[in-house]
Amino acid sequence: MRYASVLYRDYADNSLFTPGAGENNGEFYLPYAKLRERFLAAGIELNTPDLNAGREVAFELHINCRRQDPEARAYVYLYENPLIRPLNRDRRALARYAKWFTWDGALLDDPRAVRLLYPNRFESGPWNGPEKRPLFCVLVASNKALTVVDPRDQYQARVRILDWYERHAPTDFHLFGRGWERPAALPGRWGRVRNQLRKILARFLPAKSPYATWRGPVDDKIELLTRARFCLAHENCRDLAGYVTEKLFDCFRAGCVPVYVGPKEIADLVPAGCFIDGRAFATPAELDAFLRTIDDAAYRGYQERIRTFLLSDGAKPFSQDHFADVIAREILADLASQTN
């Protein structure tokens, strides 16, 4: 048996492969557990680095680009988008890796880059029809902001829609997530300063959310979405080629129709009839008016198109099995080339 290390944040004791680990409704571990199985079948045990202490490792797999030099031949999966983690698009930093696994279309001109979309889980139970979805529109998001001011920012776009519903239709909108006992976080350097001041003040002032639509954190996002007709599923940033995350596919799993804003080429990746394109509406009022025109028959049409897509070959590049297969195949082939 050979050994390899996977490095992400401070994960240790193989907790990265443990059910309930990390974000994404406790399902972050799933594609990495599948990846570990692929390598075990090839005679390589993939562990967090603490369990490989004192062992010679065949390679390191980094989740996001790291500043530290690797201790063995290394590969990187560029999970986070570059507006949140700029190092993930820093070609000088990426030069230390033999291969880059990335959804980022801006990097795919490099021969070391391997196109890999975000992995998602498709399995779900029977979907509720529209008549069993009492929540008109929901937003599930933590109260965060970009550390830079950028026109592609969708944190602030979500807040603008939230603010409209707060003023005009609060009973038809439900906000879920952490941190909304404070005003919406602001982007940029000065925004970070103000956000920290608000957190400090919150320790001394009564905790009262400025948002009447806020319902607190949610334990099971998928279950919640089975009760919602529509969900604001904007990516954190728009216009990043290939940047399609669980925000869209969580809605699909639950049979909930997403209002989506993401990469410009989204209709080349996911059929346009599966979602409502948030770019088509100049104001939140226009969006709300359109949502109210969708009757039960039209809603079921969205659900049928979503189900057809999830069962099609077009959805496979978004699957967890595809994620594990591509990374294992590419790394094993590269390692073999080093011994020839």
CATH code of the domain covering residue 230: 3.40.50.11660
Residue 125 in domain: no
Same domain, 280 and 139: yes
Q: Is the pLDDT of residue 131 over 90?
A: yes
Q: Is the pLDDT of residue 202 over 90?
A: no
What percent of the chain lies above the pLDDT cut of 70?
Answer: 92
Sequence letter at residue 114: V
DSSP code string of 249-306: HHHHHHTPEEEE---TTHHHHS-GGGSEEGGG-SSHHHHHHHHTT--HHHHHHHHHHH
Q: Is the pLDDT of residue 204 over 70?
A: no
Same domain, 24 and 155: no
User: Average pLDDT in the 212-222 region?
Assistant: 95
User: Average pLDDT in the 183-195 region?
Assistant: 74
Same domain, 136 and 285: yes
Sign of CA dihedral 20, 21, 27, 29: negative
pLDDT confidence tier of residue 187, bands split at 50, 70 and 90: confident
Same domain, 306 and 173: yes
Residue 213 in domain: yes
Q: Poorest-confidence range of 14-18, 33-37, 41-45?
A: 14-18
pLDDT of residue 163: 97
pLDDT confidence tier of residue 201, bands split at 50, 70 and 90: low
pLDDT of residue 198: 67
User: Average pLDDT in the 311-340 region?
Assistant: 96
Cβ neighbourhood burial of 167 (10 Å; 0-12, 13-18, 19+): exposed
Residue 250 in domain: yes
Same domain, 78 and 184: no
CATH number at residue 102: 3.40.50
pLDDT of residue 184: 85
User: Average pLDDT in the 17-22 region?
Assistant: 80
User: Average pLDDT in the 255-277 region?
Assistant: 98
Q: How far apart are CA 326 and CA 115, in angstroms?
A: 9
Same domain, 83 and 200: no
Q: Is the pLDDT of residue 195 over 90?
A: no
What percent of the chain lies above the pLDDT cut of 90?
Answer: 83
Domain limits for position 139 = 130-314
User: Considering its fold, how many domains does the chain have in total?
Assistant: 2
Same domain, 203 and 283: yes
Whether pTM exceeds 0.85: yes
Structural element, H or E, at residue 61: strand 60-63
Residue 267 in domain: yes
Sign of CA dihedral 296, 230, 153, 92: negative
pLDDT digits (tens, 9 = 90+) for 138-164: 999 999 999 889 999 999 999 999 999
Same domain, 71 and 164: no
Tokens at 3, concatenated: 């050994």
Same domain, 329 and 302: no
Residue 124 in domain: no
pLDDT digits (tens, 9 = 90+) for 51-65: 999 999 999 999 999
Average pLDDT across the chain, whole number: 93
Residue 227 in domain: yes
The number of angstroms, rounded, from the C-alpha of 63 to the middle of its chain's C-alpha atoms is 14
Same domain, 212 and 283: yes
Same domain, 246 and 158: yes
The number of angstroms, rounded, from the C-alpha of 57 to the middle of its chain's C-alpha atoms is 30
Same domain, 109 and 191: no
User: Average pLDDT in the 26-50 region?
Assistant: 94
pLDDT confidence tier of residue 193, bands split at 50, 70 and 90: low
pLDDT confidence tier of residue 334, bands split at 50, 70 and 90: very high
User: Average pLDDT in the 71-94 region?
Assistant: 96
pLDDT of residue 104: 97
User: Average pLDDT in the 264-268 region?
Assistant: 97
